Amino acid sequence: MAKSRIAAVDVGNDSIKAIFGEMEYEVNIPNIVAIDTEDRPVIGIEELDNKDPLDGIHIKVHSPALKENNVIFRVGQLATKTDNATELDPGSSKSEEDQTLVMLLATLALDAVREENADQFPRAKNVVDANYTLGTGLPLREVKEGKDAGYRSKLIGSVHQVEFLVTPKYQGQKVNIKFDEIKVYPEGFAAFINLVMDNDLKIINKDLINKRILIQDIGGLSTDIAVIKNRTVDDDKAQGFNLGVSESLEAIREEIRSKHGVELDSRLDVVDIITRKTDRNHIMVKGSRTSVHDITDRILLELAKKQYRLLRNVWQKNSQTEICYFVGGGANVLKDYIKTLNNNLDGYNIDFFEDEKESIWMMANAYYKLISDFVRKSEKSKPKETVKK
C-alpha cells in the first residue's frame, strides 16, 4: 500500500500555491486552463525533455468529481499561449468549478510523478499510484454555506487519474490519485493560524493571541474578513464578500489592449506590471518604455475604496477591534492605495506583510501547519487504537 504524503494546496484564483512532504517541494502555477487536443504541436520535440514541466503542462484528467470528464487541458503557463484560456470568473464558487479540481489534481500529479518520489509511491508501466493527505481551504462564504462538505465528498473515496500528454519529462506517465484524508479549512481561520503559530502549532506571536483582530483576506474573486476573538473565529460576525481583484486586473488588461494595442497573456502579467520592483506600471509599446500609471491608478484606487468601505463597515460592527491585518495576493496589489486612504480618512490600526512571498503564500503555509498537526495527532493515536482491538 502506498504511503500517504502530506499536501497543502491553496487553490488561489490567480495561482495555485502548494507545499508537499516535509516542505521539501513547493510549486506555484497560474490558475489558467485551456481545453486542448491530444497532439499539441511542439517545435523541436526531441528537446521536449530538456524543458521545465511547469512550462508545458498538457494533461488529460479522468475524475468522477468533474462535471466534464476525460477532457484534455493545457494548464498554467502553457494555457496562457492560447486564445481560449479561461480564468475563474467573478461571482463563481470555487468549490463548484471544474477548474478548481483540474488545477488541484494537476498540481498533485506534478508532485507524484517526480523522480524524487519514486520510493514514496509504487510505479508500474508508467503508472504512479499516489496517496495524499490533503489540507486545503475555501472562502469563508462558501464554508458558511456548507459547501466544504460537498467539495470534500467529491474527492475522497474515488480514484482520480491525470495523464501527462505532451508534457516535458513526464510524457506518457499516468498518476492515479487517492486521498486518505482531506481537511477543508475556512481561509480566514487559516490566516490567523499562520499569524500566531509555527509549523508545530506552537504560539510564536504572544502579543496577538488574546487580541481582537480582523483579518481581511483579499483574493482574486472574493474577500474574507475574519473576526478573531478569544483565539477563535467568530463565525457569526465573520463575513465573505464577492469582491476581489480579478475584475479590476481584467479591466486594466483590457484598457491596455485597447489604448496601447498590447496583449497581456493573463492577469498575472498585470500583477507583475503593478508590483515589480523596477519599471513598475510600465510596459513596452513597439519597443518603447511606456507608462500605464494613469490606467492602473484609476482602476485600483476605485477597488481600494470598495475594500476600505468593507473594512469600515465590519470594524463599526466590531468596535473593540485592536488591529486589522490585510493578507493575500490582492492585499499585496492594493497595499499602497489602502494605506493612503487610511492615512487620509479614519486612521485605523492596520498592517500589511512587507514580505510579498509571506503574504501570497500565507494560506498554503497555514494549511501545511494544520494538516501536519492533524497527521501528527493521528499517528500518536494509532497505537491506542491497536491496543483496543
For 143-165, write each residue's pLDDT tens digit. 888 999 999 999 998 999 999 99
Cβ-based neighbours of 107, under 8 Å, separated by 6 or more: 9, 16, 18, 27, 29
Window from 32-46, 225-239, 249-263 with minimum mean pLDDT: 32-46
What is the enclosing helix (H) or strand (E) of 190?
helix 187-196
How large a percentage of the chain has pLDDT more than 90?
A: 58
Map grid coordinates 486542448 to a residue.
36
25-35 mean pLDDT: 93
197: confidence class by pLDDT, cuts 50, 70, 90: confident
Provide the pLDDT for residue 1: 47
| Model pTM score | 0.86
Radius of gyration of the chain (CA): 22
Residue 89 DSSP label:
P
pLDDT higher than 50, residue 385: no
- Secondary structure (DSSP) of 216-280: EEE-SS-EEEEEEETTEE-TTT-EEES--SHHHHHHHHHHHHHHH----SSHHHHHHHHH-SSST
344-373 mean pLDDT: 87
Provide the pLDDT for residue 132: 97
β-bridge pairing 213-218 and 323-327: parallel
Compute the CA torsion angle 148, 248, 82, 108 (nearest 10 deg). Answer: -30
Better pLDDT: 110 or 211: 110
What is the enclosing helix (H) or strand (E) of 107?
helix 98-112
Cβ-based neighbours of 111, under 8 Å, separated by 6 or more: 5, 7, 18, 20, 25, 27, 117
**170-195, pLDDT tens digit by residue?**
999 999 999 999 999 987 777 778 77
Domains contained in the chain, CATH given? 4-188+363-388 (3.30.420.40)
Cβ-based neighbours of 368, under 8 Å, separated by 6 or more: 6, 8, 19, 23, 135, 199
